[in-house]
Amino acid sequence: MAQHAGYSRFCYNWGLSLWNAAYRDGYKPNARKLREVFTNYTKPLYPWMKNLSSKVYQYAFINLGEAFKRFFQGLGKRPKFKKKGKSDSFTIENQWKTNRIKWMES
């Protein structure tokens, strides 16, 4: 489970970095575009990602998109990079319901 939490954090931070760069350059990024770039260009560079659920990175980008949506509506602060050990969590889909799992090391 720690691998999935790290995978989610990696994807969220990667997406946030790309989002900030694209926005700075005058583009209007969104979660779907980030997911497409990640799937087609970045994911093949990291073979360890093949062993983890693809839903984890999909939800990481969905969560990032929702965070920016709240930010632009004035309902929240600008999204920040996630740090290891600070509220580690990931979302995974189990057939018809979605589960958000908070990972805590003991």
Show the domain range for 78: 2-102
Q: What whole-number percentage of the chain has pLDDT above 70?
A: 77
Alpha-carbon span 67 to 44, nearest angstrom: 26
Q: How many domains does the chain have?
A: 1
Alpha-carbon span 58 to 78, nearest angstrom: 20
Q: How confident is the model at residue 97 (pLDDT cuts 50, 70, 90)?
A: low
Instruction: Quote the pTM value.
Output: 0.79
pLDDT, tens only, 18-68 = 999 998 999 988 889 988 998 898 888 988 888 887 888 888 899 899 999
For residues 53 and 5, is the Cβ–Cβ distance under 8 A? Answer: no
